[in-house]
Amino acid sequence: MPPAPRHAGRISRREALALGAGAGLLAFGRGALDAPRALAAPRTLALTVPPDAFGPGARTAVLAAPGRFVLLGLRDVRGLGTGLHVRARRRGGRWSPWLRVPTHAHAPDPAGLPATGDPLWTGEADELELRADRRPRRPVALALVAVPRAAGALLAARAAAAAPEGRGAQLGGRPPIVLRAAWGGDLVPPRSAPAYGAVQVAVVHHTESSNAYTPAQAATQVLAIARFHRDTRRWNDVGYNFLVDRYGTIYEGRAGGVELPVIGAHAQGFNGLTTGISVLGSFMDQQAPQAAVDAVARLIAWKLPVHGAPVSGAAAVVSGGGSLSRFPSGARVTLERISGHRDVGSTDCPGTRFYAQLPEIRRRALAGAGPPVVLPEVTLDASGPVVYGRPVRLEGSVLAPDKTPQPGVAVRIEKQGPGGSWVTIARTATSQDGFFAASVAWTRGGLVRAVAREVISLPVAVALVPALAVAADSRVVPVGGTVTLSGRMRPPGTLRVVVQRRVRGRWVRAAVRTRQVRGDFTLPVRLPRRSGSYRLLVSAGSGGRVASARPIAVRVAPFAGA
């Protein structure tokens, strides 16, 4: 079996202009447990607790949640301090231990988003109590994430199948990783395209959440965290690049490709220079389990060298600043290649006891890591957007690490399919100057990448513009008459007709008509019962891109032919 493609390219911030770049949205495959009805999306419930609900001892009575939930977090931490605790249970069941509700947060670069807290795993519950150091001065606004039971059971089975015996993988190679499709990442798609930076340091976190979860609950917890990050915090996606459960299973976090330098939202000021790995649990007063420590070491032993970075020593980086960063913007900072979140941010993460285990992680990662990979540079650019059926031109280069052109190198162009897998759509080779080019008929928008010598370029999105041809059967119709539009639209999508009337030298919208169209179409459009000059604006939309036909002028007269 050939080695998996590695990543190289312009190590800079650039976006993949489409959701789910790289391997981040890989389908689970033919062996997946495909039960779309069971995979209902998680929901976010709101609960607001007024200050007067806190009685003696600044403690509430039992609060009934608006629905069953598995995770909660503060929607607004302002004015709450750090002394808020919660316990939860299923109605009539046993209470969980009292757990501190996190009031601090990670943040993307730049920040400026609502001041929400970190999410806290509670396990399945529908009742809760709150306890504060003092009665809050403002309402306590909670977001509760609910994951359907059937979805949780299916995701647990998928995750177990995706990483069988994964905890015993050999250091240095890519360890088994539960990709997004297996833990339900398609239920919380990113808001926008991932961005790419340059990984120089691994930053280790804990989720500061309950340690009381089973292997079967871990995938549900990852999904719930992703939902909270995206919808309560309004981030683009889950903040961490990877998550690791206490049993040693590794989960892909933020979409964009596990081998690519995806920019997360875990270490403000340094997100573009780091990869973020968070262990599910809280490790202030207890050590992280050995299985989790081993998994983090294996992951870093593979991840840093893939990006040309050693796992030992220090890296000189420049802070991007931010309110949660320890260092102001522009500050030059020297960081251990394997650092804790507290090394870069104003936080106690990854917990006092886990932070003390970082030297062990460094030793284990160093013992198994190979040398940093010195990769050729493979780039890809594409013309676009492209009208349906017309060719897209794809071109790029293959250069040695010293920028020397590499002639005669076989290059394959791959496109990401609807399920996330990559399919070869063209083959070519580099010329004497190291450049290559190919043209491919384009009938579906999506991501493309180039692969040369098993090195992959950053993915590039090529948008598709619908092909639209339309004509009217008449340009003069009687009052109350109908104009029949006919034509062809590819690919299938929404056809929209806006009818405008000329009033005192201006065009005023009089009506709108839409229809779902597949190929050839005939669409009757009844005009207003008023004589005058009209025009029909016809547009076709598909996947966010719109094609517009030339305006069709129509005159409504008291009688046909006037």
Tell me the pLDDT tens digit for each residue of 402-429: 789 999 999 999 998 876 678 999 999 9
pLDDT at 345 over 80: yes
Domain limits, the chain: 32-374, 377-463, 467-557
Q: Residue 480: what pLDDT?
A: 85
Q: Which listed CATH number (3.40.50.300, 2.60.40.1930, 3.65.10.10, 3.40.50.620) goes with 377-463?
A: 2.60.40.1930
What's the Cα-to-Cα distance from 348 to each of 206, 287, 344, 345, 352, rounded to whole Å? 10, 14, 11, 9, 7
Mean pLDDT within 139-163:
88
Is it true that 32-374 and 377-463 share their CATH fold? no
Q: Is the pLDDT of residue 497 over 70?
A: yes
| Domain boundaries 32-374, CATH class | alpha beta
Which of 6-10, 126-130, 134-138, 147-151 is least confident? 6-10
Structure tokens at 500: 């405008």
Note the pLDDT tens digit of each residue in 93-121. Answer: 999 999 999 877 666 766 555 578 889 99
Whole-number percent of the chain with pLDDT over 90: 63
pLDDT score of 291 more than 90? yes
Distance CA 41, CA 105 (A): 25
Residue 173 pLDDT exceeds 50: yes
Which one is predicted more confidently, 555 or 454?
555
Residue 437 has pLDDT above 70, yes or no: yes
In 3D space, the residue among 464, 392, 459, 388 whose CA is nearest the CA of residue 426 turns out to be 392
> Per mean pLDDT, which of 1-5, 255-259, 340-344 is the most reliable?
340-344
Q: Where are the alpha helices (DSSP H) in 163-230?
A: 180-183, 215-227
- Per-residue confidence at 17, pLDDT binned at 50, 70, 90? very low
Q: Roughly what angle, to the nearest 10 degrees, separates helices 215-227 and 149-162?
A: 110
Does the structure show a pLDDT above 50 at 384?
Answer: yes
Q: How far apart are CA 475 and CA 354, in angstroms?
A: 76
Q: How confident is the model at residue 455 (pLDDT cuts 50, 70, 90)?
A: confident
Q: In the predicted model, what is the mean pLDDT of residues 183-212?
A: 91
**At a CB cut-off of 8 Å and minimum separation 6, what does 335 contact?**
201, 270, 314, 315, 317, 343, 344
Q: How confident is the model at residue 373 (pLDDT cuts 50, 70, 90)?
A: confident
Q: What is the pLDDT of residue 511?
A: 92
Average pLDDT over residues 523-535: 93
CATH classification (class only), 467-557: mainly beta
Position with higher pLDDT, 458 vs 506? 506
User: What are the helix (H) ranges across 97-148?
Assistant: none
Instruction: Tell me the DSSP string of 339-360.
Output: EEGGGTBSS-TT-HHHHTTHHH
335 or 454: whose pLDDT is higher?
335
Enter the pTM of the model. 0.73
CA distances from 285 to 76, 93, 170, 345, 359 (A): 26, 27, 30, 20, 18
Distance CA 91, CA 185 (A): 30
